[in-house]
A and B are shown apart, each in its own frame.
Chain A
């Protein structure tokens, strides 16, 4: 079956702009989580959605937001981009707690 699909794969934005990233989970998976990966901070949890509800949120500023649609697809948005937002943004889907989390290949965001 198809894995977790993230689009786009690469993105270049200018400081101050906003960006929306998309994630399509594995069919049947209702939980979608987002992570930011940087060389300096490693992998950090952004937020998690289950059945269109945000259940958990990491320690990121309010510029980072997300949502989940009724078909479980999820988007995350970053407003007023800063240079430090340059990172690999990863999405993971799961059937539920204590099941394996399958990651997509990520969206590489570069802010210039």
Chain B
């Protein structure tokens, strides 16, 4: 398949610290990228998106950085809170017709 999720990397951070989650995407022609958060028993929840004509976009406590040269995305979460604990996925829109290809995901654990 296009997305492998057998062993998810885990990021453990202390409450109040900043978190950085990284993602490498596969298709240099992708022009739209999204970060999702998924909590246990729920569907993915939209966090922030970015188009390929930008290299940075900020939301509330979150920032997404896009480096097209090395096909890399990152999600920065400021002042991480226990409620941020979840699995985080990056996704790229690769083709006409709303086809998202997801990364494997990263588990974020916030320690109080």
With beta carbons under 8 angstroms apart, the residue of B89, B96, B104 that contacts A97 is B96
**How far is A96 from B32 in the complex, measured between Cα atoms in Å?**
12
A56/B5 contact (C-beta < 8 A), A42-B105, A101-B46 known: no
**How far is A11 from B42 in the complex, measured between Cα atoms in Å?**
16
| Binary flags per residue of B22-54, CB closer than 8 Å to A gives 1, else 0 | 000000000110101000011111100101000
Most buried by B among A4, A43, A48, A55: A43
**How far is A82 from B98 in the complex, measured between Cα atoms in Å?**
27
Any chain B CB within 8 A of the CB of A110? no
Contact A45 B104 (CB under 8 A): no
- Per DSSP, are chain A's interface residues mostly helix, strand or loop, or mixed? strand
When A and B form their complex, what is the total count of cross-chain residue pairs whose Cβ atoms lie within 8 Å? 91
Most buried by B among A31, A45, A58: A45
Any chain B CB within 8 A of the CB of A39? yes
**Tally of contact residues, A, Cβ under 8 A:** 31
Contact A55 B4 (CB under 8 A): no
Minimal beta-carbon separation of A90 from chain B (angstroms): 5
**How far is A28 from B91 in the complex, measured between Cα atoms in Å?**
23
Which chain A residues border B99 with CB–CB below 8 Å? 33, 45, 48, 56, 58
Q: B residues near A, CB below 8 A?
A: 1-6, 31-32, 34, 36, 41-46, 49, 51, 89, 91, 93, 95-105
Q: A residues near B, CB below 8 A?
A: 4, 31, 33, 35, 38-45, 48, 50, 55-56, 58-59, 90, 92, 94, 96-98, 100-106
